[in-house]
Structure 1
């Protein structure tokens, strides 16, 4: 324990934040060994999406020292005099972390721009790509709980970094000394113009129907102003915003988790939509890179799954684009439907590892990416000019969903009708998830090891026909920590640790012949869910 106390004292000596200094001094004075070990026994790992974790003192927390070290590591890997753009959301500490990042980068001799106000993550990603910046930093924890913050790094293509870039930056972070000895810049450019982003997403050529009524929630995040400006520029009626969730609030007071996938997160939006008799509910997560959709049914409002929205948007994009060089991409945990859609439309299809950093790297130089999606409500929507943003974008996805719904409404149809059309053409692809959140992250590694050594013969009453250990490279994909079970009847289960939260995530899919098989599909998914839950518990 003396080593941990020494590390804590060294941290105190360099920490510029009086809040975290006071927190750590209280821990030391109380002799709280568990709290000390939690903060100093490990550190936040700089992964392929950067950093993300709970706010507080120590290397295993998000704080000013952690952020300054990350900025210094990034600065050391860039060519001299590089241009870097920094954005931030409205979470606790985000603006301060953005300022610290700018000071460290400027002190290292780089040219820095910082957005004047909190912005959605896709705005930063677009700015990096179109400004020909060497890199970008977005301070956000996306949809994580209020106590968390994070640090995403983008490269010159406007996409999140992938290996080996992350390892290079991580090694450079390890070489950083005391942050109070870093040279700090005192000035940088302020970026305020959002017009390039708005022009790019509002100008997507995906049909001209506009008559649709929408209830929208930004989930206490930063998406509302940008989404409203994009809708106005594209000629859509202004969505009705859920008033209790309209303004940025880092405490996210109306939701247990600010993630539109979580049960209850859409309740206020669904109630308002029923009251207004709206055609559609659209929700962004707090940094507006994800988009959730819900539709009215005879028995009430129903959120669509990410796979359902992905399939609908894919065909919408392909109907409004042309060329056999078009590429559509999804991940190994998303529905297998997109591959069938691609074949039917005569376009190219690719699978990637989970995460948009991999989606944006899929295909070849000869491919023109027009659409990419992951089941976790992430979509990159393009037109004949390709995709405007090198990451998932909840604002342009909302525009595309609105255009799709307006087009269906003009034809006297609904999104549910379009889902039935797809089921008749390709078979009904029903998907679901099982997630287990843990306090002790060692449980995740233990569960993955058990799955690899004790493979089940049957899941949900279906025989396991084959098993893939995704830690071994296969089908041109890099290795990743995950396993995949191919089951009889075209069903599939994929299990992997979450890349952003202490969760084990399981992705279930069953395929039925027709649209009339939805009840049977739900029964089959329930059987899979029961067996998989027992398997990972």
Structure 2
């Protein structure tokens, strides 16, 4: 414990934040008084540090290297600055920084631009809290060498994060290996030097002009300008307490869509996320207020963004669902938007690639093959999806969609919302609905059904144990259906980079994928089936889910 106390005192001496200084000083005092719980807390904070990876940094706010705080962010910014200088010998790299509405996002962003400027970089700060897609856009629009977005997306309220993009040959995409390890090495060197108070800072950074936001709005509105079917559309929008609404409303006005009825309690940025347990549209109950608003407004459609507006959720009226509204799965939305992109590419004769993460619906491959397009399945994350050669559309089942790859090389919940509105209103002009579009898709390509089992744990070592058990004793069947093949992506499969993913193929053509979440303490199981009709697909999916739950229970005992 003495080593943790020594490290904590050194951390305290360099912490510029009075809140975390007070927090840590109190913790140190309680440890010195013999408080066992405090000792465990101190060990958790100082026995390791938040790892910088391809997703950047993400963790709980608090003092210490295993939390998100101003010391850790300063180390990350100084390390990233050194990495960018190393990549641009003799040049002056440009880096643009954005931030969302979470607690301390603005503070972390300003610390970063001051440190970037102090390192001699051309640092640019976006004009205010804005969606993540605006930052991703700005990296390319400004010709920047890099970008940083301070956000934890849809994580719980006490989390924050630090997401990194690269320009140049990376074309504004998120980082991939080996860049993550190279940046991490620079960050570790800064941390080992032990005092971020001596890291040079400067207020000589630039503030991005409003023209950057205006350019994003114009480019996004152009994805699907409103047609005749948009007139009179009754729909509901929620920003989920995030930063999406200001930008969304401007895009809607520019594109010509009617303004929605908004969920007033969730429309303004509020990092406490007071009306939801988790600010993620996928979580049970997160869209209840949107459904309540939709019923009161007699709406035809509900659209939601997550707090940093890089994800899109959609719900439609459904008399068979309790409450009368059904949220579409990420796969359903992705297949509709992929179908839209494939028709456009085929009509233009330009060709191209449809891409999705390997845990997303295999239905996208059927669409690509039908229209003579290429298809790529990638590792999870838009850092991989966005790099598919010739990409015209990409998605992942976790409500992420890339519909405008020439503008933003990342998932973008705002441009996806515009594309979906375009499809919905085109159908509306013909007297049809989004539900009718889903039916037409099934008639054209077959019935694909998907489900997910998500297991949140308090001890992340449990996830590693489950994955190890499945590898040590591979299942011969899932439920009553035999396993025909197991792909262990740690060994490299289909030319994909190694990943901690197990893919089980069943004899009836069904698929079960197991992997740890990359951003949360969860184990995720992805279930996919195909059949000739929706009823048959749903029966097959229910059987697969029962078998998967039984399998999971057997390895957790």
After TM superposition, is the score higher than 0.5? yes
What is the CA–CA distance in structure 1 between the aligned matches of 2:473 and 2:415, rounded to whole Å? 44
Among 91, 102, 108, the alignment partner of 1:91 is: 102
Match of 2:35 in 1: none
User: What residue ranges of structure 2 are gaps of 5+ in the alignment?
Assistant: 32-37
Asked if the contact 1:324–1:348 (Cα under 8 Å) also holds between the matched residues in 2, the reply is: no
Aligned partner of 1:82 in structure 2 is: 93
Distance 1:215 1:206 in 2: 19
Contact 1:116 1:192 in 2 (8 A): yes
1:261-294 Cα deviation digits (max 9, x unpaired): 0000000001111221111111100000000000
Query: How many Å separate the matches in 1 of 2:396 and 2:538?
Result: 25
- In structure 2, what is the equivalent of residue 344 of structure 1? 370
* Cα deviation, residue 528, structure 1: 3.6
User: Which moves more between the two structures, 283-292 or 447-456?
Assistant: 447-456
Partner of 2:395: 373
The CA deviation at 1:515 is 3.2
**Structure 1 residue 206 displacement after superposition:** 7.1
**1:356 is matched with which residue?**
382
The answer as to 2:314 corresponding to 1:293 is yes
The correspondence for 1:210, drawn from 227, 230, 234, is 230
Equivalent positions of 1:26-425 (< 5 A) are: 26-31=26-31, 32-78=38-84, 79=88, 80-156=91-167, 157-176=171-190, 177=193, 178-193=195-210, 194-205=213-224, 208=227, 209-211=229-231, 212-299=233-320, 300-321=324-345, 322-363=348-389, 367=390, 369-382=391-404, 386-425=405-444
Distance in 2 of aligned mates of 1:362 and 1:536? 35
CA gap 1:206/1:323 in 2 versus in 1, 3 angstroms: farther
Could you give the per-residue CA deviations for residues 129-156 of structure 1, whole angstroms, max 9, x where no partner exists? 1211000000000000000000000000
The question of whether the paired residues in 2 share the 8 Å contact of 1:497 and 1:505 is answered with: yes
Judging changes above 3 Å, is the alpha-carbon distance between structure 1 residues 536 and 213 closer, same or farther for their aligned structure 2 residues?
farther
Q: Secondary structure at the match of 2:364?
A: helix
Secondary structure of the 1:224 match is helix
- Indicate the structure with greater helix content: 2
Structure 1 distance, partners of 2:475, 2:6, is: 48
Q: CA deviation at 1:423?
A: 1.7
Alignment match, 1:3: 3
> SS at the partner of 1:325?
coil
Paired residues of 2:61 and 2:160 also in contact (CA < 8 A): yes
Q: Is 1:466 the counterpart of 2:481 in the alignment?
A: no
| Corresponding residue for residue 433 of structure 1 | 452
Distance in 2 of aligned mates of 1:521 and 1:223: 38
Q: In the alignment, is the contact (CA less than 8 A) between 1:430 and 1:510 conserved in 2?
A: yes
Q: Is the 8 A contact 1:431 1:525 kept in 2?
A: no
Hey, what's the Cα distance between the residues in 2 that align with 1:314 and 1:69? 40
Q: Over residues 67-115 of structure 1, what are the superposed CA-to-partner deviations in whole Å (9 max), with x where a residue is unaligned?
A: 0000011000112421110000010000000010011101100011101
The correspondence of residues 12-31 of structure 1 with structure 2, limited to 5 A, is 12-31=12-31
Cα pair 1:380 1:387 within 8 Å, conserved:
no
CA distance in 2, matches of 1:517, 1:324: 36
Contact (CA 8 Å) 1:310, 1:375: kept in 2 or not?
A: yes
Partner of 1:450: 469
CA distance in 2, matches of 1:524, 1:407: 37
Indicate if the aligned counterparts of 2:224 and 2:422 stay in contact, CA closer than 8 A.
no
Residue 324 of structure 1: CA displacement? 4.6
Provide the secondary structure at the position in 1 that maps to 2:471: helix
Contact 1:380 1:392 in 2 (8 A): yes
State the secondary structure of the residue aligned to 2:375: strand
Measured after TM superposition, the shift of residue 213 of structure 1 is 2.3
Structure-2-length-normalised TM-score: 0.93
Cα deviation, residue 525, structure 1: 4.2
- In 2, Cα distance between equivalents of 1:394 and 1:536: 37
Q: How many residues align?
A: 530
CA distance in 1, matches of 2:226, 2:544: 35
Instruction: Call closer, same or farther: CA 1:535–1:48 in 2, change over 3 Å.
Output: farther
Q: Name the TM-score, length of structure 1 as normaliser.
A: 0.96
Tell me, in whole angstroms, the C-alpha distance in 2 between the residues paired with 1:113 and 1:535: 52
Q: Distance in 1 between matches of 2:237 and 2:548?
A: 31
Supply the distance in 2 between the matched residues of 1:77 and 1:175 (Cα, whole angstroms): 11
Distance in 2 (alpha carbons) for counterparts of 1:416 and 1:534: 35
CA RMSD of aligned residues (A): 1.4
Provide the rounded CA distance (Å) in 1 between the counterparts of 2:224 and 2:24: 54
Deviation at 1:344, TM superposition (A): 0.3
CA apart distance, 1:474: 1.5
Alpha carbons 2:316, 2:328 under 8 Å: kept: yes
